[in-house]
Amino acid sequence: MSESYRIRVRGHLTDRWATAFDGFTLTREPDGSTALTGSVVDQSALHGLLRQLADLGLPLLSVTPVDSHTTS
Amino acid sequence: MDGPLLETKLHQPRRRPGAVTRPRLSQLLDAGLSARLTLVCAPAGFGKTTAVAQWLGDRSGVAWVSLDEHDDEGSFWAYLCAALHRATGLTTEALPLLPADGGLRLLLSDLEALPGQEVVVVLDDYHAVAGTEVHEGLAFLLEHLPEHLHVLLATRADPPLPLSRLRVQGELVELRAADLRFTADEARTYLADVMGLSLPPESVTALAERTEGWAAALQLAGLSLQGRGDSADAVAAFAGDDRFVVDYLVDEVLARQPDEVRDFLLQTAVLTRMTGPLCDAVTGRTTGAAQLEALDRANLFVVPLDDRRQWYRYHHLFRDMLLTHLTDPAPLHLRASAWLEDSGDLPTAVEHALAAHDQERAADLMERVFAQMAKERREPEFAPWVASVPEEVLARRPVLAVWMVGALTLVSRFDTVEARLDEVERRVQAVDGRWPEVPPEGLVVRDLDGYRTMPAMVQMYRSALALSRGDLPSTVARARRALQLSPEGDHQVRASSRALEGLAAWATGDLASAEAAYTAATVDLRAAGYLADVLGLATTLADLRRAQGRLAEAERAFRNALEMTRDAPGAPLRGTADMHVGLADLLLDRGDRAGAADELARAEALGEHKGLPKNPYRARLLRARLTDDHDTALALVDEAERLYNSDYSPHVAPVPAVRARLHLRFGEVRAAQAWARARSLTADDELNYVQEYEHITLARIFLASGESVAAGGLLRRLAEAAEAGGRYGTLVEILVLQALARGSSLDRAVRLAEGEGLVSVFTDEGEPVQRLLRQLPPTPFVARLLRTERPAPPRGLPEPLSEREMDVLRLLVSDLDGPDIARTLHVSLNTMRTHTRSIFRKLDVTSRRAAVTRATELALL
């Protein structure tokens, strides 16, 4: 069962980054943050993704589970 | 890991000429020299490595390791030891034992012994290391770190080490993101001195704020502003933009590079390590080496990996950013893979083929590299690779599929093994385990030599699988089939199969078959050049022969192994200590305590690191056997239990049972009874070989508690089983106990024991057995058994030493050599030797050292 998450980072990311976060939708918010929304297969995949964000130096603002029925 | 170490990972980055110095950080790092651990912890691009390299400068005694995601517990310790060797000249034998406690202690004592120089161990990119063993091992080192050593970790995430404890003890100094951020002043100095920019103060402040002092961002900002007339406007535009700071700046920097440089950066970003020709292969140009140098000069995020500046890598963060610009990296990866293949670096070529999603190519390369890696014992490295090859690719590649099984069995993952082997045999249309001469149509085989060894390997893995399930008959049957199918010269498979067969036979108590299999395995291992394994098998062979009552043959196993490995490269090999411990046990069986003490001393002189996994516990059990002191003996047995490692052998003499016997020796019957209860052992148990030692121990407990009827019944059944299995050594012990239970004759036991000189099995029992021995005709052997009494060593000698012999004996204790002793006593060397021989005979010893020990025991001196 996949789980859906919305991950907010500080700074706007261009659409080019969508390939780096395969399967995630990028939304640039007016407050200067970017929301990545999508699903991961399990907790390990989520941690891998967070680590990838950390490796890129992206400041993490929040991680929120979202109802999977509304996203996919 | 036995693979080659990469020089570049031990390279300490040099201070960049003209780089900005940050005294603030150096002062903080200096404080670390009075603590055990310095933690430099911040996200990517915060200048951790640079700060540490600048602080270290030309300091000596720096052991530097750059870690990456390929490092596991094996390679971590190898790199650490190599770096320590470079920095301090340290030579240590600890590596094969790491990260076990013994290895860590040995490493610590070797470090302790270094001349007083301060040593800084730097582990850069520590976050990349996976595996809790590394963290646990490092925590242990930190806890016991010698005064003059300091560890510095540069990492993106806090490591799982006892940080709060170290913090409380004042043993932790931290440099975190907040410390590493450039202050406005530092930013100004940096932009002016390093980047050659003269910016208005408000632009500097704006940059420092927008980048939040993030080193990588500041550097990118500087690069993007170089040669621009409108720098104030550019800064203002940057400050007013919401884009992720590094993303924005990388775009700016790239946009301002000439096309050729930009293309080079983007194309070579696929490489984790770069050298000129490799870059040329990827870019299709010929200017790679010059480009790398130019990038280095221009501060464009390349890190030299050696002093000759042949290998470089991009700064991690910069490379990650570049990669997001690549839309189709696959062709670049393929070109890199091809170059690496030609240059012989097949493992890295595999990585790039996988990154290009070219699984067929990756599979080709893997198949070619596996046989070599297996020879180097690097099979564990296969597992993550093969997991990345899709099943449908594996299905067409029988050789690769079998290697994958090998990788899985090595990490004890047996769940899919059988299905995989069945599938491989079905695909190749194996008949009774035999594979067709030529691979069937539609299958891919790149390694034809490998193809020919696969049928035997399949059977060998089936045998290992059966053993893991405890199915001993199948273990033997499959191992024998593997042997039939193995090509003549394939010593590795043959030795493994025979060892599996031997192991299974041993566990069922068929010692004759086990012994034959292990003897054959020894021949193959020797032919294959695996001399260290020859030493390991010698202990097994000797154990088997000892149970069979063949002490002379057991001794030969040890002596042959010693002989065989004496002149091997790196001798004395690991496992040499085991041979001396084993010989000591045999000498004790023969009642030669002094000789045994001698062999033990030899083993101890070699040190724990010359022992195989079993040796630490076996050596302690031997010492427990040698001592007459109750507390010492029990403490040794406790240690042995902690250090117990069967190394895949069946548990034929479990340490708790040894302890129970020790309790009996010291009259602590209740403690021994408690053990038997805890093990739920009864006189009516069905007997099986693996529990034989425990059941004999139980019979001893019955005897000690006066339950001779229970003892008698159990011993009768044990005697039958031992006799049927040809375990005559064990049988002698059972017969001695039977005689004690019934007060009957020792006649048969003595007859069985005489040929091989089994002594201790009688003499360890003390007066009750002595009484029974006195009822036998006084043959020389019986006389010897009566003479060699234990536990109270006799005060006198059957044949006392003459006055002159006593004179010689007193000098044997000294350091004088033979001619000196002769001179001191004013006798000829020959006369002196005659006296010595006579002393040895009377003391029943064979060496000067043993004579001294014996004479001390007998209070002659």
Per-residue confidence (pLDDT) for residue B797, from 0 to 100:
67
Question: Measured in Å, how far apart are chain A's first and last C-alpha atoms?
Answer: 12
Q: What is the Cα–Cα distance from B264 to B242, expressed in whole angstroms?
A: 29
Residues B78 and B57 sit within 8 Å (Cβ to Cβ): no
For B327, the closest chain A residue by CA position comes to A19
| Distance from the B176 Cα atom to the nearest Cα atom in chain A, whole angstroms | 14
Place of tokens 């170290």: B166
d(CA B92, CA B108): 10
| Predicted local confidence at residue B288, as pLDDT | 94
Residue of A34, A55, A61 to mutate, testing the B interface (most B Cβ within 10 Å of its Cβ): A55
Report CB contact under 8 Å: B323, A20: yes
Check residue B376 and give its pLDDT.
67
Closest B-chain CA to A15: B324
Residues in A whose CB is inside 8 Å of some CB of B read: 9-14, 16-17, 19-20, 28, 32, 34, 54-58
Q: Do A57 and B45 touch (CB under 8 A)?
A: yes
DSSP class of residue B303?
E
- Which chain B residues contact residue A28 at CB under 8 A? 242
Torsion sign (Cα): B343, B348, B350, B355: negative
Which residue in this structure is represented by tokens 């970017």? A34
Nearest CA in chain A to B210: A11
Q: Which CATH class is domain B359-490?
A: mainly alpha
**B286-336: per-residue pLDDT in tens?**
999 999 999 988 888 888 888 888 999 998 889 988 998 888 999 999 999
Q: Per the CB < 8 Å rule, is A28 touching B242?
A: yes
Flag if B324 and A16 touch (Cβ within 8 Å). yes
Q: What is the ipTM of this complex?
A: 0.83
CATH number of domain containing A34: 3.30.70.1560
Residue whose token pair is 């860590």: B104
Distance, in Å, from the CA atom of B175 to the CA atom of B122, rounded to the nearest integer, reads 14
Contact at CB, B43 and A57, closer than 8 angstroms:
yes
Distance CA B25, CA B53 (A): 11
Both structure tokens of B801: 């030493």
Tell me which chain A residues have a C-beta less than 8 angstroms from the C-beta of B330: none
* CA atoms of B588 and A31, how far apart (whole Å): 82
The per-residue pLDDT for B461 is 93
- Partners of A64 in the beta sheet? A6
Number of domains chain A contains = 1
What CATH architecture applies to the domain B803-857?
Orthogonal Bundle (1.10)
Residue A45, domain extent: 3-66
Q: Could you count the other beta carbons within 10 Å of the beta carbon of residue B530?
A: 18
CA distance B663 to chain A (A): 52
User: For A58, which residue in chain B has the nearest alpha carbon?
Assistant: B244
Q: Which two tokens stand for residue B129?
A: 């290391």
- Name the residue in chain A with its Cα closest to that of B177: A57
> Which residues of A are less than 8 Å from B327 in CB distance?
19
How does residue A71 score in pLDDT terms, banded at 50, 70 and 90?
Answer: very low
**Does residue A71 form part of some domain?**
no
What is the distance between the alpha carbons of residues B710 and B254, in angstroms, rounded to a whole number?
Answer: 90
CA dihedral B471, B475, B481, B485 (to 10 degrees): 130
Closest CA in chain B for residue A21: B324
Q: Measure CB to CB from residue B320 to each of A9, A19, A55 and give the nearest one.
A: A55
B window 201-220, beta carbon within 8 A of A: 214, 216
Question: What dihedral angle (degrees, nearest 10) is formed by the CA atoms of B328, B334, B339, B341?
Answer: 150
B247 CB neighbours in chain A (<8 A) are: 11, 13-14, 17
* Pick from B650, B677, B672: nearest CA to B661: B672
Q: Please tell me chain A's helix, strand, coil percentages from 3-state DSSP, rounded to the nearest 5.
A: 30, 40, 30
Q: Which residue among A9, A13, A16 places its CB closest to the CB of B325?
A: A16
- Identify whether the C-beta of residue B187 lies closer than 8 Å to the C-beta of residue B214: no
> Going by DSSP bridges, is the β-strand pair B62-66/B119-124 parallel, antiparallel, or unpaired?
parallel
Instruction: Give the count of Cβ contacts less than 8 A between chain A and B.
Output: 49
Low-confidence ranges of chain B (pLDDT < 70): 1-5, 17-18, 96, 375-380, 411, 788-798, 859
Give the CA angle between residues B9, A57, B322 to the nearest 5°: 70
Chain B residues with beta carbon closer than 8 angstroms to that of A16? 324-325
pLDDT tens-digit series, residues B69-128: 877 777 888 889 989 988 888 877 777 677 777 778 888 888 888 877 889 999 999 998
> Bridge-partner residues for B170, per DSSP?
none
- Short-list B325, B130, B330, B321, CA closest to B223: B321
Q: Is B239 on the interface with A (CB under 8 A)?
A: no
B537, B499 in Cβ contact below 8 A? yes
**Do A16 and B321 lie within an 8 Å CB cutoff?**
no
Type of residue found at B650: P
According to the model, what pLDDT value does residue B380 have?
64
Q: Which of B454, B479, B440 is nearest to B403 (CA)?
A: B454
Q: Which amino acid is at B667?
A: G
The residues facing B37 across adjacent strands are B151, B172
Strand-pair category, A60-66 with A3-10: antiparallel
Contacts 24+ apart (CB under 8 A), B636-639: B637/B662
Q: Which residues of B touch A14 (CB under 8 A)?
A: 243, 247
Q: Which chain B residues are within 8 Å of A58, Cβ to Cβ? A: 244
B119-124 vs B149-155, strand pairing mode: parallel
Closest residue in B to A54 (Cα) is B43
Mutate one of A47, A50, A56, A58 to test the B interface: name it (highest B CB count within 10 A): A56
Neighbours of B780 (CB within 10 A): 8
- Cross-chain residue pair A9–B244, CB shorter than 8 Å: yes
Select from B156, B157, B324 the Cβ nearest to the Cβ of A17. B324
What pLDDT, in 10s, does the model give residues A20-32?
787 899 999 999 8
From chain B, the residues in CB contact with A9 under 8 A are 244
Higher pLDDT, B834 or A35: A35
Closest-CA residue in chain A for B328?
A: A19
Residue that is written with structure tokens 């002490």 in the block: B551
- Rounded to a whole number of angstroms, the CA Rg of chain A reads 11
pTM, to two decimals? 0.68
| Residue A72 counted as domain residue | no
Q: Where are the alpha helices (DSSP H) in B612-766?
A: 615-626, 630-643, 655-665, 669-678, 692-704, 708-724, 728-742, 747-754, 760-763
User: Quick one: CA dihedral B627, B629, B634, B635, positive or negative?
Assistant: negative
Distance from CA of A23 to the nearest CA of B (A): 15
Does A15 reside within a domain? yes
H helix runs in B115-230, sequence order: 132-143, 163-168, 177-180, 184-189, 201-211, 215-225
- pLDDT of amino acid B628: 87
Strand order in the sheet with A3-10: A25-28, A33-40, A3-10, A60-66
Tell me the HSE value of B202 on the side-chain side, using a 13 A CA sphere: 5
Superfamily of domain B7-180 in CATH is: P-loop containing nucleotide triphosphate hydrolases (3.40.50.300)
Q: Distance between CA atoms of B111 and B690, rounded to whole angstroms?
A: 43
Whether A58 is in a domain gets the answer: yes
Among B216, B244, B317, beta carbon nearest to A13: B244
- Tally of CB atoms within 10 A around A72: 10
Whether residue A55 lies inside any domain: the answer is yes
Closest residue in A to B157 (Cα) is A54
